[in-house]
Amino acid sequence: MMVTIREYESQGHFSRVWKRLFEKKLALVCIFLILVIYLVGILAPYIAPYGYNEQDYTAIREAPSLDHLVGTDLKGRDVLSRVIWGIQNTVIITVISILTGSIAIGVSLGLIAGYYGGKVDSIIMRIGELFASFPDILLVILLAATLRPRILDFVRWLEDNTSLDGLVRSGIADYLVISLALVSFSWVGMARLVRGQVLVIKQLEYVDAARASGAGIIRTVFLHILPNVISPVVVTVSMGMGSLIGTEIILSWLGLGIQPPRPSLGTMLLEAGSISALRAVPWMLIGPGLVAWTLVLSWNLLGDALNDVLNPLTR
């Protein structure tokens, strides 16, 4: 069914975006997979058939069966339950990192640098270049390795001097370490993107009209400039989630992420990554490997789809 130019222009921007997104079947499949996996992680305490550290000494290295759908590991722990709890860790870390790093810090600094320009812009961009001069994964590894002992000591001090118990066992120190390490570099790319958009948008006539009508800086930035930056931000965030998930898994694989006994996809891949484990218990690799691959691929494909949907040149 053909849509006339007048009918197209009468539709709101976001209504057109949603309509075009629903026409992309692959994007809908990716959204469905992401939502299902994230929901499974959030509901881990309620849907995991066993505790993540619960051992069954009569079912060590047991192949997939009705009692253990994805088998058991070398210590008799249910692989499916540990994968579900590992998803929860990935959800918590990546969501915190993307909200604080890319969105909160990156967008804010990009708006400030692009709008004010001059020395403010130079200072923010030079700091960003300083962080970007290090290889991302190397910087994350250095921060995770140096911050963890100090944060762990602080959490233990809280347990000893307050009524808060179980903080170390809950893994909150590991969440803080990985989140801080990921936030340290994830804001740079977003700040550059937003800054470039703001430098162009603030020169447009409608922004000059808003200033001439008496709009203050906050009103001009948040009501007239920020809405026009949302589209590239959404695309960048969706495509960046895949790399953040991969980085979190690599950190855990290197022993700098979530520490035992709490499971993570990275540590599970490490345990099942040896040749002897692949020969004896290949199911230990299938569960976490399939989930990690699905998450990274789905976020990347969704980012490509959103880029097509939100890009005005592809309409």
Instruction: For each of the domains in the chain, give its residue range(s) and CATH number, in order of start.
Output: 92-280+292-314 (1.10.3720.10)
* pLDDT confidence of residue 12: 53
pLDDT digits 0-9 by tens, 40-52: 988 988 998 988 8
Closest CA to 86 of 249, 294, 226: 249
Give yes or no for residue 9 having a pLDDT over 60: no
Closest CA to 114 of 124, 126, 128: 124
* pLDDT confidence of residue 133: 78
* pLDDT confidence of residue 84: 92
Closest CA to 124 of 194, 175, 77: 194
Cα-Cα-Cα-Cα dihedral of 286, 291, 292, 298, to 10°? 130
DSSP 261-302: TS--HHHHHHHT-SHHHHHH-THHHHHHHHHHHHHHHHHHHH
pLDDT digits 0-9 by tens, 114-172: 888 888 989 999 888 887 777 767 777 777 778 778 888 888 888 888 777 777 777 77
* Rounded (5°) CA angle 206-211-213: 90
